[in-house]
Structure 1
Amino acid sequence: MSRLTAPEPEAIPDGAKGILDAIQKHFGFAPGMFNTLAANPAVLEIVATLQRSIAKLLDAKTRHTIALAISRTNGCDYCQALHTFVSSELGGMSSDDIELALNGSSTDPRRAAVARFVQRVAETRGQVGDADLAAIRGAGYTDSEILAIVTVTVVFLLTNYLNNVNKTVVDVPAPSPKAA
């Protein structure tokens, strides 16, 4: 059972209704995390704005890889379920790529480097070593892209923390089976 209370549908503050409608349209359902955040429309707006903003950073599969790696590193069951669904249904990632990302890797060497780097960012609370930076640079990432990687990571850390504090009940549908 979630520890924070989501407002009943008729009690959702006006400032949150439009945001929840847009989220429902995007995902095809309203994930419980967002329903809980609707208890504070300003928080819901901040999270939704950050998530829309990071869509401008990096390619989608790299963002999904970051989300999956960070969610597993932080032990956020809710985020792992949601990002597995999104990566599969909206992001075009295979179940193998999703499993690799959850474990800090990828079939793509650049994304594998990103997954390992963001795990180090989370594990060290941002105090990565010179070797960590050398590894991500060695995979071909520029300092500008590293800034984007860290920014995307922090946005997913935020939702991991919100859902871990809440112990949000997983209400995310399983991804549809795909032909191999």
Structure 2
Amino acid sequence: MSRLTTPSLDDVPAGARQILDEVAAQLGFVPEMFRTIASNPTVLEAVTSLQGTMSRVLDARTRHSIALAVSQANECNYCLAIHTYTSSEFGGMSSEDIDLARAGNAVDPKRAAAARFARHVVESRGQVSDADLAVVRDAGYSDPEILAIVTVAVQALLTNFINNVNQTDVDIPAVNAAG
């Protein structure tokens, strides 16, 4: 059971309702994580603004792979469920792609390097070596793209921490695995 108060949709504070409507329009439902965060409209705005901004960096499958790798590293069951759902339903990732991403890997070598690097950033608390940077650069990432990888990883880390603290009830629809 979730440990923080999750307001009903009718009890969401003013200022948060529009954001939840936008989440519902995008996903087809309002995940419990967003309803919980809506108890503090400023935090909800910060989380959704960061997500919206970061949706403009890297390609979708790379972002999904990073989120899955980071969520697995942090053992965040809620984030694993929602990222599996969004990766499959909206990102066109197969079950194999999702399993590989959770392990910090991918069929595509460039995407694999990003997922591994992101996972390493989280596990090392950002204390990566010159060799770690060389590997991700050798995979084809520029320094601005490396900044994007780190920021997408931190975005996932933020929601991992919120959901791990809350022990958010998983309310994610079943995945229809992409082919």
TM over 0.5: yes
**2-structure distance, mates of 1:6, 1:28:** 19
| Alpha-carbon shift at residue 174 of structure 1 (Å) | 1.5
**How big is the shift at 1:10?**
2.0
Assess, with a 3 A threshold, how the Cα gap between structure 1 residues 149 and 177 changes in structure 2: closer, same or farther: closer
2:150 is matched with which residue? 150
The Cα shift of 1:7 comes to 1.0
- Name the CA distance, whole Å, in 1 between partners of 2:11 and 2:116: 42
Alpha-carbon distance in 2 for matches of 1:76, 1:157: 9
TM normalised by structure 1 equals 0.97
Determine the C-alpha separation between the residues in 2 that align with 1:44 and 1:86.
19
1:57 aligns with 2:57: yes
What SS does the corresponding residue of 2:53 show, helix, strand or coil? helix
Match of 1:117 in 2: 117
Query: Equivalent pairs: percent with the same residue?
Result: 58
Offset, 1:8: 2.1
Structure 1 residues 56-111: Cα deviation after superposition (integer angstroms, max 9, x where no partner): 11011110000100000010000000000000001111111011000110000001
User: Which consecutive residues of structure 1, in runs of 5 or more, have no partner in the other structure?
Assistant: none
SS at match of 1:58: coil
Hey, which bits of structure 1, 4+ residues long, moved more than 2 A?
none
Q: Helix, strand or coil for the counterpart of 1:14?
A: coil
User: Which residue number corresponds to residue 29 of structure 1?
Assistant: 29
User: Which whole-Å CA distance do the structure 2 matches of 1:109 and 1:177 have between them?
Assistant: 22
- Give the drift of 1:171: 0.5
Counterpart CA distance in 1 for 2:64 and 2:126 is 20
Equivalent residue, structure 2, for 1:3: 3
Q: Tell me if structure 1 keeps the 8 A contact 2:69–2:101.
A: yes
Given residue 121 of structure 1, which amino acid in structure 2 is its aligned partner?
Answer: V
Residue aligned with 1:15, SS: coil
Count of aligned positions: 179
Residue by residue, what CA displacement relative to the aligned partner does 1:142-168 show, whole Å, maximum 9, x if unpaired?
A: 111101111111111101110011010
C-alpha distance in 1 between matches for 2:8 and 2:93: 34
Structure 2 match to 1:159: 159
1:97 is aligned to 97
- TM-score scaled by length of structure 2: 0.98
What residue identity is the alignment partner of 1:64? H
> How big is the shift at 1:120?
0.6
1:177 positional shift: 4.2
| d(CA) in 2 for partners of 1:138, 1:34 | 37
Distance apart, 1:9 and its partner CA: 2.3
Unaligned runs of 5+ in 2: none
| More displaced stretch, 78-87 vs 126-135 | 126-135
CA deviation after TM superposition for structure 1 residue 130, in Å:
1.3
1:15 aligns to 2:15 (yes or no): yes
Output the CA distance in 1 between the equivalents of 2:10 and 2:67.
32
